[in-house]
Structure 1
Amino acid sequence: MPPLPPSSTPPHGPPSRSRLVRIGWLVGLPVLLLVAAAAYSLGMSRVTARLERQASEIAAATGEGQPEPWLRVSVAGRDLTASGEAPDASQREAVIGRLAAIEGLRRLTDRTGVIEEVSPFVWSVERPAAGRIEAKGSRPAEVGAFELAQRLKPALPRDTTLSDRARAARGAPRDFPDAAAFAVERLQDLTTGAVATLNDTVISIRGEAASLAAYDALRTALATPPQGYTLGTVEITPPVVADFRFGVSRRPDGSLELDGHVASESAREEIRAIAAEAAEGAAIDDRLRDARGLPQGIDGPALARFVFKLAGLLHQGRVSFEGAAISVEGNALDTAAVAEAEALMRDARPAGTAVGGVALTARPIVPYVLRIRRGADSVTLSGHLPDQAAREALLARLNPRFFRESIQDRTRLADGAPAGFAAALAAAIDPLSTLATGELTIAGTDLRLTGTSLYPESAARLGRTLPRALPAGWSATVTIASDEAPAVTADSGGCGQRLAERTAGHPLRFAPGSTALAPEFYPVLDAVAALARACPGERIEVVGHLDPAGAKSEAPADPVADEAAKETAPKPVKANAKADPKKDAKTAKTGKGKAEPKEAAKPDSKSDSKPDSKSEPKPEKIEAERADAGADLARARALAVVDYLQKAGVPLERAAAPTGVAPLSERQGIGLSLRS
């Protein structure tokens, strides 16, 4: 092998210089890059710091004459973002110009605005998540964002931050921070998604309560909004509970206690309406709490109606719904009520419910209760009656006295009525019929009449007469109110006008052939008697009225009174008998007498020929006899009214039925006038 040339380098000899230079550059380049990056970062941080410093100075200067600086600037490298609301457009333009002139600025994003007057002034807070509350709308420019946030901080729910996205504006109502804090504090008791809004001075809240305790706290707090503010729309959904239940307890006095849960205020109103009907005038103790959680598939209104229907069969006891099951226990109204309750539980339960338990007893009815309640357009009967005959007799007595009202019979039949029950009932129905509204309650041998009378005189009279009319061993409590004060006047013209007012629209008409005062006469005559006592210089004159032509005697049967009195029908008063004032007055008061027109003489039935003109009464004579009979009947009626007025306190010499005065027609009714 030939030798290598002297200038040649062996393959594994030392590296060349150019190669070393290349290797040095490769090693030093990262170092240079790091140095360059450090220099750039250092320079950029200095630029950013300078931008932040100069921007902060400009922002701080906007606080002169303001609650706080209105300008807010954020820096990202050499970029600035400006936000806030300037007091006016000139200040906004000046500030943006100063920011744009900062040396080294690359880009300026302008999100500023100008404070404006807004109306209505609307601000709202929403709870989108458990740890955050967002404010939107308009906030007062006079307060400032930072100061408002500090005022709201104590009202924020625990571990919650406030994100203020509202814009400053003018036109906020007085004491806005207090109202805003009130609204924010309400969100503590609501779940996520709740919203509270201030629209000028109206506070509205919408959301779901976090718990039963929170729901109660909300209702208490909302009862007293901040001074100068009112509540608008409040839509707070009750919380959901796992043990949804509902119960009705009936007490011995007929009152009801409601407890458990109700899904909404509208449902509560519906339940109270059903309860009022079931209580039949007795008290209702509402202890229901708002909550949701009724098992799916169960109709709430149907459940409530069923529960109250069962409660209506109880004298004392409880009906409850719990765990999707219905239970009833206690003392039933009577033996039949036990079977009715069992049939209802078996065949008529609402869909989705189960039988929880039936534990009913039928004890003797003590006290024996009957209620008759007169409302504006109906008369409701409830409680017990001895038998079907007593029920029919009671309805026969009520129908003619309450012919304008509908009669709703909810009574049940059961033994145990006290002695004298029919007589006490007969004595109290007429007084009840004279009231505008009222209630008659019989409990054992205690009778209670309450209500409102059109006239105070009638109320006073009932308090005196009803206790005396009851059978031995019975007691009566009469509580009658009147909205009208007794008339007090001595002016003759005023007395006449007041008499016309008392009698207008209340004509007094006797039944055909009768001299008995009807119950509807009493309030009018009581008022007339009070007027006569208040006008000592006047005398009441009474004129009777005739029956319509061809009218027959109408003496309606009164089964209750007949059973109570056990008396036979009295004989009618003869029409051709002379009027006896004392006897007529007595007859009118008791209602046991009636006058009948004299019958015309009948022709001889044995004769087939025409009647002899000599023996047949002349038409003129017949008419005269009829006129005399009618006049006697009219006078007897006038005397009956006079007798009532005298017993109502009118002196004897100041109430009279004058003679020689023509009777009035049936259409006119009894005539009442004042004479000096």
Structure 2
Amino acid sequence: MRCNPSYWLLGLVPIAALSWVAVQFQHEDIENDLARRTAEALKRAGLTWATPHVVGRDVVLTGKAPEERGPMLAAGYARNVWGVRVAYNRSGLIERVANYRWSAASDGSGRLRLTGDVPSEHARRSLLDTAKTAFPSATVTDGMRLARGSVDPDAWLAGAEFSLKTLSGLKRGEAELAALDLSMRGEAATSEAYRQARAALEKKRPARVGLAEERIALPMVRPYVWNARKGGDGFVIEGYAPGDDARDRLVARARSLFGKMSFSDRTDIADGAPDGWEKAVVIALEQLAQLKSGDVAFSGRDLTFSGEAADEQVAAAVRRSLKLDVPQNFKIVDRIRYPKPDLFPAGSGYVMGVVNTGTSVDVIGMTPSEAARAALVDAVKARFPARTVNDKTQVAPGAPEGWQQCVVAGLASLSRLTKGKSLLSDRKLELSGETDDYATSQSVPGDVKAAAGQTCETTVNVAFTGKMKTDLSWKATRAPNGMITLEGDAPDDPSRVHVIETAQQIYPGESITDQMKIVGAAPEPWLSATRVALGQLARLRRGDVSISAKDVMIEGAAESDRVANEIRSVLSTDLPPGYKARDAITVMTADEKAADSCQTLMRQTSAKGTINFERAKADLTADSTQTLRDLVEVANECPAFSIEIEGHTDAEGTDERNQRLSDRRARAVADFLIQNGVSALRLSTIGYGATRPIADNATEAGRAKNRRIEFNVKVN
């Protein structure tokens, strides 16, 4: 039998067709198998960023690698998969950033936002899983992007996951990683959460993660309350303190003040304390220790202080300390009680008293007659016109000699106090009380003693309850006529006297006018500053120097640049520490110096002689003639300058009358000068009445000094 080759060829066709069909049916399974095994190999190698695409037995890799050797490693692992013929690497690298930053922000309302750079998809997924676990009820927004940076991915991921877990303990906040430096900001939900977050940041941070910033706030409390209670043998504090350190300091201070009492601390920590809170609490504790029992209650800036003091003196001292030492932004309500003493114990003798409670006045004790009783009550009503006066006296014989003078001496000063009492027992007068006027607290003891004279023995105890000033305002003026005027605040009477004496030493022969008022302040370094200021003012021909708080300003005319510079140098080196000096010193021209010399001659001439007028008139007396003729000669020796003639009177009479009289007297002097050869064109007059005294109008000697004529020489 012969074989026909064409039949064989015809038989191969269906075989080929069947083979092609078989291959087509298995092709997809083969590609899927290669893709699966390649992906598993990449995953085992930690290269999950790479995605394999299989065509036949060829693998194409895509994706972005987080490190430069990543694409090469992925291609190598793909080629080693059994069945892969060729691996094509079409992957790239994720973007590189110079400042690698990542952050997580929780707004406290159930939203968490993740933003910034992450090193890989694996890190992204890990962070999202951690966020969902740490914030189970929050809506998480993913705003992260893949980026390369010079960070260790493992250390970085540990730091980011730690940040999320720590952030979950805050009410609201933000965590930020700058490379491997962590910053944490926010508000804790509770004091315990605050402590835990800070402890974690300090002690539990992952290795290599640094702490750049920690700004976690305690939970905010409104109103901010704190209380202390002293009673029996026990002492309790409760409420809030602005931190563990502040709480520990307050507890330590309380234990030192109340060490023998059983102690209970029920305070917690929270934010929201007003400015000066700790200082106010310490002062309140110190004053509470002075009471037998009591309570301190802070609510925001309101302080309520209540309790029982041993006596009135203790109560007054506590009130004064609270008022002066507690920061001024706190409003204080005090409810301090104390037992009322028996004003006149048995055996006190002939006694009477006037008690000013601050709202009413009680007149108590004995009076020698009904007439004396009525006169006393009327005198008290006159001294306290706005107060209710309660007459609790009784008529009794036996009043000591001078009784009335002593009563009046105590009553006169008692009316100047905020509250107090004046008690007379036989010939012993005791005055006590308080005032917020420092000058009054200083002057009352002397005033009482002077008013009582030798009639009775006086004891005075006046407490100053005001606030000592620290920003005194003071000024010294040197006028062209040689008069030195001191005005403004003085710390106390000894300081005022010292400044006057200093001015008299620096300006011998010149008239010193004191218009200072006592305000209550520390004498130093104010006294040292005024000494330097007065000394430098003396080097000016005219001008003034002022001190406001610790700012010194001097202005006026110096005779040369050298003098002006020397004044500036002294002020820059000799003033007490903390004081700063400014100046507006000008240098006199030749004409100004000449006018100043003429001014000095006019002043010296008038000071040596006499310029008098008939009483209450503008008629010059005969003894004024020689002085006025001497002034004519001086005026004519200075023909280039004009002269202003000032008239001054004392304070007797009405202001209108004094003004007219001073005008007429100045005009009378000008008329004499004109009649004796001084050009009328050079003269002008002005009357000041009693508005510019240089001495005390309460004395005859002072009034005589105030009745005067002064001359001012001016450059035309």
Q: Which has the higher contact order (CA 8 A, sep 6+)?
A: 1
TM range (shorter): 0.3 to 0.5
Q: How does the TM-score come out when normalised to structure 1? A: 0.33
More strand by share: 2
Q: How does the TM-score come out when normalised to structure 2? A: 0.31
